[in-house]
Amino acid sequence: MTETAEHYEQLVDEETELLAKIRLCEDCQWTLLELISRSGETGREIGEEVATAILTIEQDLRMELVHLRLEKGMLAERMRRTFGSAATFIPGSGRAEEAIETDSK
């Protein structure tokens, strides 16, 4: 595997980790909102502060994800140009693999 492909694989792993962190932030927000709504006005002020802090973290993670996906796309294009039509990028996994071309003649 080339250095570029290895880097691409690393980015795929980082993307998976970022998506898990974003999902965790979303789950935390929903759980917090449920708790705040049950506590009434008592927990509203501190709840809003905590919810805002979680949202800020989520936004930072999403920005990091955008930059990572841009870098991943650039690497995918570089690999496509390097390997030509023999490079296949599997959309579901984000994994880059060389396709084996067979001649049926």
Position 59 in a domain: yes
Task: Tell which wins on pLDDT, 82 or 104.
Answer: 82
Give the separation between CA 5 and CA 89, rounded to whole angstroms: 11
Position 92 in a domain: no
Nearest in space to 55 (alpha carbons), one of 27, 30, 25: 25
Say whether pLDDT at 89 is over 80: no
Position 28 in a domain: yes
Position 51 in a domain: yes
Position 42 in a domain: yes
The 8 Å CB, 24+ separation contacts for 71-77 are: 71/11, 72/8, 72/11, 72/12, 72/15, 75/4, 75/7, 75/8, 75/11, 76/8
pTM of the model: 0.74
Position 45 in a domain: yes
For 54, the domain range is 3-78
Domain tally for the chain? Answer: 1
